[in-house]
Structure 1
Amino acid sequence: MTEPLVIFDLDDTLIDYAQAADRALASFAHQRGLGESGVQFLRDVNAGTLTVHEAWQLIGEHFLLPESADELARSVAATLPDHAVAFEGAVEGLNSLREAGWRTALLSNGSPSVQLTKVR
């Protein structure tokens, strides 16, 4: 008999992606000295209906930042894994499944290097 297998998505299943994104935006704002109103502006713009490029174009223009929209977006995206936190009980739940004889796997459409950083 084979071991049972359970497959999980990583973002918003095991990892709180929304919280990681919010922390990355707050970190960006604090590093740039944009203050709490800057953090809120970043949150508001990123919560809207703009594309990623449009959002960062608006942010760059608003704060007179020298980088291009794409450079700004990449700089924040690169820090997302550093801000990733597992949902409460996720790690314990995975460990319990493994102890009960289940094999576990991750399936994700995210970049392998970014997802591996989150897993670590």
Structure 2
Amino acid sequence: MSHDSEDLVRASRVLNETLALLQSEHKRLEHQYRGQIYEGAQGAGGPVQTLHGINDLVTGVHDQLASIALCAGYTSLGLEEPADRARARAHSQPGSVHEKEQQFDVGWGGALDLGAHRSVHQN
């Protein structure tokens, strides 16, 4: 299978920018909630859950970016079989996202999900 390097570059740039924004927000939230994390703050919408959520987003975007970078690297080396596996991993459906909700068109041969890691809280 041929992989379009322009599309891989475009997708990786979008994910890299997204990752930087999420990491910045994670740092801001950690600073904002410093000292507020106590036993009663673990409910829905509380500081603990908010920090878990932003951490999951950072991890998911990072993993997607790593899959695309691996695919691009294998492709540039002419290793099509490993590139195909990396591309399939980048397109895998996360366990915590329903099929209708996972589709994000990034223009490089299909949809990209932003949470390729498997959640421990699968539906």
Shorter-chain TM-score range: 0.3 to 0.5
TM-score scaled by structure 1?
Answer: 0.33
| Larger Cα-atom Rg | 1
Q: Counting strand residues as a fraction of each chain, which structure ranks higher?
A: 1
TM-score scaled by structure 2?
Answer: 0.33
